A and B are shown apart, each in its own frame.
Chain A
Amino acid sequence: MILLQLKSLNKTFNNFCALSDIDFSVREGEIVGLVGPNGAGKTTLFNLICGRYRPSSGNILFKGIDITDLKPHTICHLGISRTFQSSRPFPRMSTLQNVLVGHIFGKGFSLHACPEDRQTAIELLEIVGIAHKADTPAGQLTLSEQRRLDLARALATRPKLLLLDEVAAGFSPVLVKQAIQLINRVRKRGVSLLIIDHFLNLSLKVADRLLALDHGEKIAEGPPHMVMRNRDVLQAYLGLRHQDEEDD
């Protein structure tokens, strides 16, 4: 079943075309990697899906509902959650409180906190492996811990689709391995994932499919090994102009 569908999506900023004519969909239970060089439009696409930006034209459907013009908080209530390229914790609130906020507001308004909320939040911190930092102000966590917190907070909103923006960028091989385990655990909870992965250190190992962007255009789509052999993708990443000339 199709969970997320993008229909000829366009976004321009002051005559600069950030995304043009993107058609794409994510099926339920799928992990899709979003790859492409700097400035390809990956984060812009996230911001469109989450409602931070409005597309210049085109539609976004989630579970068959048109969410193109909805506000970020409503889109979250419907079941799309995200992490940020540079994580955005609530720095002076405790790590546990950060996750509680996601849990309490993720599905709309609830007036009173109940004790189970706290338990759920602690479980999520255990899943991402920072439960021992529950009482530490989030601003004092290390970069890797803040990314985990971002993930726990996003999961706390009980999403059906989770968008991860550069979740493993700059990670050591050990941390990448942990991130892969974490993503597989998230998938087992019945969450579909769309992962921005500029450095390709994650999506080649976990993704079912890749979507490759360059200069705001879709250049390839399909299973990871196919996409990585695609000429346009290699050219976008490595710049194979020289080889092109030889071919011609």
Chain B
Amino acid sequence: MIYFAAKNRINGSKTCGVGLILGFLLLLTLPLLVHSNNYILQVFTHALLLASLALAWNLLGVSGSISLGHAAFFGVGAYGSALINLEFGLSTWLTIFLAGLIATGLGLIMGLICLRLRGAYFALATLAFVEIPKVITDNWDALTKGSLGLVGISGLPTLRMGDWHVDFGAGIADSYYFVFVYFVILLGLVAFVSRSNMGLALQAIREEEIAAEAVGIHVNRYRLLSLLMSAFFTGVCGACYAHLVRYIEPGLVYGLHFSAVPMIFAICGGRFTILGPAVAALILYPVDQFIFHPLLPAGHEFLYGAVLILTVLFIPYGFWGRLRNA
């Protein structure tokens, strides 16, 4: 299917390559181009964060498992970083990292419970799993202030090297670059993992699990490893979100939104590609915010549903997979 036009592959990749370089330069210089127009920058900061979230989601997605529960990692990362920061006053750099570790711990629990399941059963179990951290956060008033949420979370951290320093929390352009750098690092890491032998193992598991174990792949180890990595970076995304927005509440960070949106971006862009999920996020979220939000303030998110249905019906391997091979 997607290999239908394999002989034109080189032309397709060339066009995509040029598009990618232009896109990268555009993102790199965006704050200069828009003269720090706050609204545009804010939308693209969130787009980059969601793109990172989609990349993190797809670290598990490449193994063929569809998770509907990544909001659990996102929420626990956001609350973890914010609470450690508020209670102990640790450096925000450290709290963001710890948030990733907390999410990894939760990923381990989820993995032990859910990874024995496959396909739709795995997806449903993860969907239910989100409720555990959500209910705890919602009801442990003494620690989390429950449904009131947390306010006064510190902004994004400051990078110091001798006398030179950047305060990423100072303005929207600074925050934009913080998220941008995180996105680029994560993208590099995802590309590295996908091209390593681990990526090969995950692909094989996705394609034909019984054959994969028969040729010596420790299926459960690789599936768990990919879930843990995915959980870590999703937790870091949650922490970034908490310090970016500086206000969180359980219904928001554990909401279906943060489970569904990375999945939609990944499926729409192409679950089996490295860049697809990120490209989809960077196109769809701004389209949603700039075009559909003004038109339909209440129901603008129908866009995501429509795009998901159309993708599944017409380009099941996502548009990036199609473009690269067309």
Chain B residue contacts of A76, Cβ below 8 A = 213-216
User: Which of A84, A113, A140, A153 makes the CB contact (< 8 A) with B197?
Assistant: A113
Q: How many residues of B contact A (CB 8 A)?
A: 21
Q: Closest residue to A88 on the B side, CB-wise? A: B211
Determine whether A53 belongs to the interface, using a CB cutoff of 8 Å to chain B: no
- B214 contacts A81, CB within 8 Å? yes
A-B contacts counted at CB < 8 A amount to 86
Q: Interface with A: B71-79, B198-206, B247-255, which one?
A: B198-206
Query: Per-residue 0/1 for B153-168: is the Cβ within 8 Å of any A Cβ (1 yes, 0 no)?
Result: 0000000000000000
- B207 contacts A105, CB within 8 Å? no
Main secondary structure of the interface of B (DSSP, over half): helix
CB distance from A202 to the nearest CB of B (A): 21
Query: Per-residue 0/1 for A74-112: is the Cβ within 8 Å of any B Cβ (1 yes, 0 no)?
Result: 001100011010001111110001001110111111111
Also in contact, A157 and B213, with CB within 8 A (given A90-B203, A91-B207, A100-B200)? no
Q: Once the chains are docked, how many angstroms separate the CA of A140 from the CA of B214?
A: 22
Also in contact, A88 and B200, with CB within 8 A (given A73-B217, A81-B215)? no
Q: Closest residue to A108 on the B side, CB-wise? A: B216
- B211 contacts A84, CB within 8 Å? yes
Q: Once the chains are docked, how many angstroms separate the CA of A91 from the CA of B204?
A: 9
- B3 contacts A105, CB within 8 Å? no
User: Which of B201, B207, B214 makes the CB contact (< 8 A) with A72?
Assistant: B214
- B3 contacts A93, CB within 8 Å? no
Q: Once the chains are docked, how many angstroms separate the CA of A89 from the CA of B219?
A: 16
What are some 18 contacts across the A-B interface (CB < 8 A)? A73-B213, A73-B216, A73-B219, A76-B215, A81-B214, A82-B214, A84-B214, A91-B207, A92-B207, A97-B203, A101-B200, A102-B215, A104-B200, A105-B216, A109-B197, A112-B197, A113-B197, A156-B215
B residues near A, CB below 8 A? 2-3, 196-197, 200-201, 203-204, 207-208, 210-219, 272
